[in-house]
Amino acid sequence: MQRIISQLQATVSPKEKAAIDERPTKDLIAYGLYVRAKALIATISLNAQISEKLHEAVHLLDQAIERDPDFFLAYCQLAAAHNYLYFFGLDHTPARLALADGALKTVIRLRPDAGETHLAQADFLYRCYLNYEKARAELAVAQRALPNNSDIFELTGYIDRRQGLWNESARSLQRALALDPRNFFILQQIALSYQEFRQFRAMAAALDRALVLIPGDLDTRVTRASVDLEWRGDPRPLRESIRTILAENPATASDLAAQWFYLALCERDPAAVTQALAAIPDSGTAVDLNFPRSWCEGLAARSKGDVATAQAAFLAAHAELERTVSEQPGYAPALCVLGLIDAALGRKDEAIREGRHAIELLPITKDSIDGAELVKYMGVIYAWCGEKDLAIEQIEATLKIPSTLSYGNLKLHPSWDPLRGDPRFEKIVTDLAPQNPEK
């Protein structure tokens, strides 16, 4: 390592040199568990089974620290995994928050002044409390100790993005990538930023760069193929990509299930809907928002005109989300999903009240990414409740801000069927069509 640093003529601080020279643990088995967990966490950016991967990472890290209770870096990763589970709403509960806090306290106890400790504190403040300013203060301390650490610029970029500071976010993420050019996770995140602006050509280019680093990564392959659906309303590349990956390895079906189900609904293909639904894990899907499997069952039945089965599935989903909202009070994304379910059940007043309250709890001024998703899905709630004027207004509002709402989604997805034929909706779709759709 020292020879590489000398060849690069890099300036390394004394603390960074000490970190390079120090062995993270003397227990090789614990280190192997840590490496496996860290690799799992690195794959969550585009993966539909994020919950399963994070829980597996937690399990591996728990084993690692059992073998070496002073394994500092393992505790850092454990804290991060708990943060992610809470942040993404996969387990947005006081119990998970306590686990994240407990792991962080151990990190602080082991090395109170380390740059990595301040980075871990920043991650916790950001992901568990959306406390951007305190997180930035911790990052400033971390950067003084670790001036060349790409993770610091990466996390800064994510905070910038949540605060709607998109130009600053782009600069931070590009700086992180320059420091760690083989970090495909950062490239995936850069691609997702482009998606929010509907800059699909740039999104495709970022994913192509990621595929150079990880050519066999199925999540990146599928996301790259989905660009054509969102950008041009062309589902064929995504269909072919999923077909190819399933032929290569049928066991990957559950990893593809969310995108496969989305594609099947967009293509109005009953057989594909059934196949994709069968692959969705019990935990449901985690695209945009976290939807229970019963919700997907309801959409599948609804797409086939099976009203009774759809009703039963949506009632089951409602019971599940009521529990979630009770366990996760004040968590806006779960309340939004409950609103969507009530809209599907024809409970107009409850649906609109829940959708609006979700936006009040998490406005785009507080979280420009998840806040925009709530604005988008409020449009679906209005459409399903027969409030066409409000739905059109909501779509127009969503298209004025960075969001995942796209031409392909509006053109193809059944969510917007109640608005089809309305001249205002059709004009929105026509105006959003790409002017130069060539590849």
Write out the two tokens for 364.
């785009």
Say what the pLDDT of residue 328 is: 85
Of the candidates 71, 73, 185, 80, the one whose C-alpha atom is nearest the C-alpha of residue 122 is 80
Positions of E strands within 47-146:
none
DSSP H or E run through 22:
none
Residue-level pLDDT at 4: 44
User: Could you count the other beta carbons within 10 Å of the beta carbon of residue 405?
Assistant: 23
Rounded to 5 degrees, what are φ and ψ at 385?
-90, 5
Is residue 267 within a helix (H) or strand (E), and if so which, with residue range?
Answer: helix 253-267
Q: Report helix, strand or coil for 222.
A: helix
Q: Report the amino acid identity of residue 354.
A: E
Q: What is the pLDDT of residue 23?
A: 82
pLDDT of residue 7: 46
Q: How much is the pLDDT for 16?
A: 56
CA distance 298 to 241: 26
AA identity, residue 57? A
- 282-434: CATH topology: 1.25.40
Q: In whole angstroms, what is the distance from residue 370 CA to residue 161 CA? A: 11
- Distance, in Å, from the CA atom of 220 to the CA atom of 214, rounded to the nearest integer, reads 8
Q: What is the pLDDT of residue 45?
A: 82
Q: What is the pLDDT of residue 49?
A: 79
- What lies within 8 Å, CB to CB, of 357 at 6+ separation is 332, 335
**pLDDT for position 19:** 55
- Cα separation, 49 vs 423, in Å, equals 39
pLDDT of the chain along its 439 residues, tens only? 444 444 444 455 565 555 555 689 999 999 999 999 999 999 888 877 789 999 999 999 999 999 999 999 999 999 999 999 999 999 999 999 999 999 999 999 999 999 999 999 999 999 999 999 999 999 999 999 999 999 999 999 999 999 999 999 999 999 999 999 999 999 999 999 999 999 999 999 999 999 999 998 999 999 999 999 999 999 999 999 999 999 999 999 999 999 999 999 999 999 999 999 999 999 899 878 999 999 999 999 999 999 999 999 999 999 999 999 998 889 999 999 999 999 999 999 999 999 999 999 999 999 999 999 999 999 999 999 999 999 999 999 999 999 999 999 999 999 999 999 999 999 999 999 998 755 4
- Cα 353 from Cα 348, distance rounded (Å): 8
Do 262 and 277 contact (CB within 8 A), yes or no?
A: no
> Of 155, 153, 140, which is closest to residue 83 (Cα–Cα)?
155
Amino acid at 153: F
Determine the Cα–Cα distance for residues 205 and 213; give it in Å rounded to an integer: 13
pLDDT at position 367 is 98
Q: CA of 46: how far to CAs of 124, 153, 226, 258, 262, in Å?
A: 21, 20, 12, 11, 15
Length reported for the chain:
439
Q: Tell me the torsion sign for CA atoms 63, 65, 71, 77.
A: positive
The dihedrals phi and psi of 290, each to the nearest 5 degrees, come to: -90, 115
Contact between residue 217 and residue 184 where contact means Cβ atoms under 8 Å apart: yes
Q: For the chain, which residues make up each domain, given as ranges?
A: 282-434
In degrees, to the nearest 5, what angle opens at C-alpha 288 toward C-alphas 398 and 235? Answer: 85
pLDDT, residue 8, reads 42
Strand partners, 287: 289
Collapsing DSSP to helix, strand or coil, 248 comes out as helix
Copy the structure tokens of residue 164. 């709607």
